[in-house]
Every structure is written in structure tokens, then in C-alpha cells.
Structure 1
Amino acid sequence: MKSRETKIAAAMLFLLALGGAATLLPGGAAQAPEGQGEAGAHADGEHHGEAATTAPVDAKDHGDDERHAGAGGHGEEEDAGLRLSDEQLHAAGVALEPAAPAALSARLTLPGEIAFDADRTAHLVPRVAGVVQQVAAELGQAVKRGELLAVIASPQLSDLRSELAAAQRRFELARVTDERERQLWREKVSAEQDYLQARQARQEAEIALANARQRLGALGGAGGDRYELRAPFDGVVVEKHLVQGEVVDASSAAFTLSDLSRVWATFAVAPRDLAWVQLGKAAQVEAVDLGMRAEGRVAQVGSLLGEQSRMASARVVVANPGGAWRPGLPVQVTLAAAPRAAAVSVAEAAVQRLEERDVVFVRRDGAFVAQPVRLGARAQGRVEVLQGLAAGEQVAAAGSFVLKSELGKASAEHAH
């Protein structure tokens, strides 16, 4: 009994060892004995017929054909480009135009602001201490040169008038004394020294009288203690700081008067753009919000850069006869360079960005092709093409974005 069980166990171990060896043979498949291999192959062939041997070959060939057809089709699609009929182009708003030479004038546009003409803006002060008796001008009022703005009662003015009157009396006395002494000296009655002293006193009194008149005249007193503040030129009252009954001194701010018939368009210029801004250069000032434009010339370019902004200040003088250019209004200042001849140019709307490249859609053989280009200067809505396009080629100007979208759709469909 034990001998039989021992034989059975040995047989099982032999079969397990045989199976493990088969798995270690090359190819990873079990190798049957020659007789069994031939019989198995023959039986398999009889069971499946020709399909067993030809199916793998057909599958391989079919896969190659599909890959070949797919690659060939994709290449043809890229070469053919986008084909749209005239009706489709019209419906999509796509307009064609030829690439052509152009004279491009490069422009620099900078933000700015309308400001008062500082050469025609005055900050008026009373120049005497006193009490405001009358305010004749209102804020925003247009005044003429010499027009009354305010009246101030000033004790200082009274003192100056008293000094002037005293100086006049002293001079009159010195004049009479000088004439008498001169007559007596000529008659040999008085000494020459007396005459010379009288003449010196007269000259000193004359100088004192002139000084008193000058001090009073500088203040423009109208009589008594009445001081009148008047407009030094035609302008508009843009600031008013006086109220009737207010006590003021000689340095108190009273009015700010500005001639708004001419204003400044001020703007800041970065160091890299200073070559564009030159004295006397023509400039265009535009108020986008109001739809206004004006021509002017650069009147000043700062010699120093701002400590904080590191930019230079500049201004353009703008005529403002109607007063439409109000200080504080934001504007754009545009300066143009000398015209540059571009051998090939297209409308800026024709340029699209595709795969990190600038392209234009060129119509060749009835289809649109995305042509990479290298661009140059831009001006007047056109852009210079330095490389990638020849003059006369038809490109999509308006509606080129539609072609970019269609190209994206075609690429997505092909990827699926």
C-alpha cells in the first residue's frame, strides 16, 4: 500500500517539474513533444482552415493601409487649406485685399491731461492788509483787463497817503527855500554855502516825494483808505478766496485768474521715448470721451526726470478759443515719426496669433493657408510684413478671426 502511494506521489512531482520547465523555454510558451506538436498543429489547421494562418497577415496589412491612408489624408488637408465659397465668405464677413506697399508713419501715443497755461495764470493777493469791503467778481466769471475784482479798506493805505502829502509839503518848502537862497546869492546878500545847502535840501525832498508816490502807485489806491484789486489781463476767475467783511493781509490769496484761450496738454515721457519728443514738433491732442481733437506743438521737455516716476515732463500748447479744453480733462497726446516706406503691408486686422506665431490667411489656389509672417512697424491701421508674404498676394483682412476659428475646428475634428 505504501509502495503504491509512493509511486503516485513521485509521478505527480515529475509532472509538476515537467510543467515548470516548459514555462522556462524561449518564447514564454510551453513546448510539446514533437509528435504532440505536429498533431496539435495539424488538428488546429483542420479545425480553422485558412483563416488561422491568414487572419494575422490581413490584420497587419489592414492596419498599415489605415495608417497610410490617415497620414496621406492629413497631409492633403494641410496642403489644401480651408476652402470656403464666396457665399460663405460673404456670410462670415471675410473681406480680401492684396498685400501692398505703403508709407507708414510710426506714432507714439501717451496719456496726458489738460492744464492751465502757467504763463497766463495769476495768483492775485491784496498787497495791503485790511478788511474786505466789496467782492465784485464771482467764481467762473470772465473778466476783462482792469475790471474791478474786490475793494479793501486798508489803514496802511491811509498812512501811505499821509506820507505822500507830507512829502509834497516838504518838497514845496525846500523848493521855495532853494529859489530864495539862489536869488540872494546872486545879489551878493547871502553866502554861497547857504545856497548850496538849500539846493541839497530841495533835492532830498524831491527824492522823498518820488518814493512816496511810487509806494502809493504800486498799491493802486483809489482814494482814502480804499484799495481796489483789479484784473491784470483778460481771463476767467478759477479760484476765489475773499468774502465781504474778511480780514486779510498783504499775502492772503484772493483770486486765481487764468487766460483759458490757450491751455497746456501735459504728459510724462519715459526715457526710451525721449527721442520722439522734441521742441517744436507737431503733436495731436485728443479727448476720447468728448470726441475732440486739436493740433499743437511741443513747447517744453523737462531736463530732469522725476524722483518717483523717473519720467520727464513735457507739454503741448493748445489753442482754446471756445473754452472746450477744460483743465483736468484727460487726453491722449500723439506724436508722429518720419514716414517709412514698407515694401509689403497688410491691415492690422489681417494678423492673427496661431501657435505662438503671427500669421495671415493667404488665399492660394482657392484655399486659405495660414502663412507665418515676421512683422515690422505699425501705423494708420496697417502693419509692415518683413518676411513671409509677397506684395500682391490676397489675404483675409476683415473677418480673419473667422478663418482662425474654422482652422481650429478642423484640427479638432481630425484629432478625434
Structure 2
Amino acid sequence: MSLGVLLLSQTGASCDDEASAVRLGSAEVGTVDEIVEAPGTVTARTAATLTAPAAGTLRELLAEPGERVAKGDVLAVIDSPELTRRRDAAREALDQAPSGGSVPVGGTVEFTAVRKRTDKQAAAAFEQARDAAGQIADPRVRAALLHQVDAAEKQYETASAASAAALRSVQRGVASLGRAMGSLAAAQRMQAEQAYQLADTAVDALTLKAPVAGVVQYGGPPPAGGGGSLAGLLESGQIPQTTGTVSSGVDAAVPEGGYVAAGTPVITVVDTGRLGLSAEVDETDVLLVEDGVEAEAELDAAPGARYPATVRAVDLLPTTSARGGVSYRVRLELAEGRYPDSGETAPVPRPGMSAVIRLKVRQAAGAVTVPASAVVAADGRDTVWTVRDGRYAAVPVRLGVQGEDIVQILSGVGAGERVVIAGADQVSAGDEAP
């Protein structure tokens, strides 16, 4: 706000209370910032909750709460007797799989029977692998294992089709039965190897590794409605609301040696390397918000501190605001905060902290400005009372950028004109002004 706007004079036309309620100021040239205020939350770059991929026991917890870990570090190991038995059985079948073909006594009839039996074993192995994958709660691990099952099944189908083609060549007399048996043995061997690899992958998933670098927290996000929720920490999407949270006064949701059901949250890794803000902007204001818009945040946890921020993305799909209306999530980069009075560095916020965010959606520099209190409604139009030729006059104006304290005047009033900034209801057109 220009200093000239603050230089006020009281009317001297009369000494009664009515006259003293009228105050005058001046239209000045200055800069106006239009602010959109929105509630928000401090966000982490990402947060990943690791869950038990299958029922079993928590054999080891290898990271402490608050410990910083690197991507790929082993954080916990789970024992699952069922998955281990499946892998051992697949290993035994692989050891017994034929390494080469021998001509069967029954000729092509026995060849056909062996091929059908191998196809049936393969189908059962793939079904079993899909069942094991379906028990894994982590969607990323589950999807990776199912993709591996699909790829293995297609490879086996190709090998099985090759053995069928070899049999047809034998029947046409253009190939030997021994060559066809070699093709069938290769298909049998592939089926056994794939069954073992899939079972071994399921067991490997029992070793929980950090998917991102960050800080360790035991358990998962609190149930919906609980305090201190990690919901909203992710920059894109929400952490699933699941059970298995850490109770007050307890470090780990599941102690070492404790039983875990499939899907039980064991450990969460929060990446705080780049903090941000998530603001809920009302639909009436969101069209003013664009990438690169500057903002300032105030945190409930750090009264008096100011944190600069910059808009980096505005969601296309809406959410329901706390007031029941429609709002859109705006994501911002958060910079280091300071206390304006002392210049001292403000505390580093934590993910999930509440914030009030003021977005500077528009700015007008070198604009004609008046205090916001000078603009009144008259006959359905924005109006400013001015002093012209020593008398009051109501002048319709067109507004531009509207700040909290001052507004831009696009037309109607020029820089340097005296305007009524308080007590406009006490003056009439043509009255003499001081």
C-alpha cells in the first residue's frame, strides 16, 4: 500500500459527531496484490507404507523409528511357512524335471499323454502362483508378481505349442519322435523352472525393503478419524487408510516374533527431502490460480513465521471441501521460513501440519489505487466518493485487481484525487468538503 493512502485528514466543515466520522485520503499510484486464502497441509515428497505380503510372523525389524534409510535398505523380514513350503516343493519338482528327451515305449500315444499331463501341471502351477500373489496386500508387489505369472504362462504356452508342432511333424513323417520328445522335455523343464521362480519371488517379497529414501516410522497411517493422520502426505494420491497403527506408548505396531496377517502395515518410510503444501482452493477462486503463482503460508505450529511457497500444480478433478462445497487441490513447493520481525529462521515443519496459505493470484504494478474502504455500492455499481471543485461527488468506477487493503481503479478516479475512505454514508452529492 502506498504511504500516501495512509495520510488521512478529518473534515473540518463542522465539529459535530457526524462530520468527524468522515475521513479523506488520496488515490495513489502503487502495486496491488490480489490474495486468495485457503486452508492447507504440509506435505512430504512421498510416504510409503510397507505391509506384510502374506500371513506369518515378523522375524526381524531392522530399522528404528526416526532412522534415515536409503532406497533398497532391508527394513523387516517376515516368515511365511506356507510360501516357504511352496518354494521347497517347486525346487524338488525342478530337480526331478527331465533334462533331455527319450523315446517313449508307447510312441506318439504316450507322447500325447505326457504333454497333456505337463500342460495340466503348468496350469495348476500358474493358478497356485496367482493365488499366492492375490494374498499380497501391497498393490505394487502384487501387480509385479501377477505380471511375472502372465509372462511365464505365455512363455510356457509357446514351448507347449512347439512340442505339439513337433508331434505333428512326426505324424507327417518329416521328423523323428526323439526330436519331438526333446521339445516336450524342454517344455517340462521350463514349466518346473517357472514354478520355482514364481514361488521364490513370493518368498523374496517377505523381505521388506525401503521403496524410497526417508525417515522410518513404525506401523501405518491411523484409521480414518484418528489424530495425526498421514493422509495427505503424498504429493499425488492418498495413503490407504488401513489397520495396524502404532498405539500410544508403544514403538512397534507388531513386535518381533508377533503374528501378522496379510496386509498388516509394518513400517512407513516418509521422504522429507522436499516439503510442500497442499491447499484446498474454492471453485470460485481456482481459475485465478496458475503454475508459478507465489504464495505465503502461516503454520499453526509456528505462530508469527512466514513460509514462502510457489504453486507447481493444480488438480483437474475436484474434492469436497470441509464446508461442503467444491474445491480443488493446489500443490505448492515450500521454501525456508523466517520470522519477519527478527529475521530468524523458522522451524522446519513436519508433514501433516495445518497451514493457512495466501496465494498472490494477480498483481497490478503502477496502478491507480484507493483503500478498499473507499469503494461503496450505489445503484448497483461500484462507486467512490471524491472531492471535486471543493464538493463531494459520487463517481462510478471500474475495479481491477483487488487486494486485502487496497484496490486498483481502472477508470473513474485518477491518481492524486481526494477520496472518502470512511463515513461515505454521511455525505451527499454537492456538499462542501474541507
**TM-score, scaled to structure 2:** 0.53
Partner of 2:142: none
Give the partner amino acid of 1:297: V
Q: 2:333 aligns with which of 312, 318, 327?
A: 318
Q: Tell me: higher relative CO, structure 1 or 2? Use CA pairs within 8 A at least 6 residues apart.
A: 2
Q: Specify every segment of 5 or more residues in structure 2 that has no aligned partner in the other structure, as ranges.
A: 1-9, 16-23, 104-174, 220-252, 338-346, 377-381, 427-434
Question: Is residue 199 of structure 1 aligned with residue 183 of structure 2?
Answer: yes
Question: Is residue 109 of structure 1 aligned with residue 37 of structure 2?
Answer: yes
Partner of 1:236: 215
| Bigger CA radius of gyration | 1
Give the partner amino acid of 1:333: I
SS at 1:128 equivalent = coil
Q: Identity rate of aligned residues, in percent?
A: 22
Contact 1:100 1:344 in 2 (8 A): yes
Instruction: Report how many aligned residue pairs link the two structures.
Output: 289
Shift of 1:341: 6.4
Rounded Cα–Cα distance in structure 1 between residues aligned with 2:204 and 2:282: 48
Shift of 1:144: 1.4
Partner of 1:99: 27
Give the partner amino acid of 1:144: A
Contact 1:301 1:314 in 2 (8 A): yes
Shift of 1:109: 1.8
Q: 2:355 aligns with which of 331, 337, 357?
A: 331
Q: 1:310 to 1:134 in 2, by over 3 A?
A: same
Partner of 2:415: 391
Give the partner amino acid of 1:133: R
Shift of 1:127: 1.0
Partner of 1:38: none
Q: 1:230 to 1:386 in 2, by over 3 A?
A: closer
Shift of 1:194: 3.5
Q: 1:268 aligns with which of 280, 289, 305?
A: 280
Contact 2:293 2:361 in 1 (8 A): no
Partner of 1:81: 13
Partner of 2:263: 251
Where do 1:297-376 residues align within 5 Å? 297-306=311-320, 309-319=324-334, 324-340=348-364, 344-347=368-371, 376=399
Shift of 1:380: 7.2
Give the partner amino acid of 2:327: A
Shift of 1:347: 4.8
Partner deviation per Cα, 1:221-272 (whole Å, 9 max, x = no partner): 7xxxxx4322122022244232122111222221222222234522333332
Contact 1:304 1:312 in 2 (8 A): yes
Aligned-residue Cα RMSD (Å) equals 4.5
Contact 1:111 1:333 in 2 (8 A): yes
Partner of 2:81: 155
Q: 1:210 aligns with which of 190, 194, 205?
A: 194
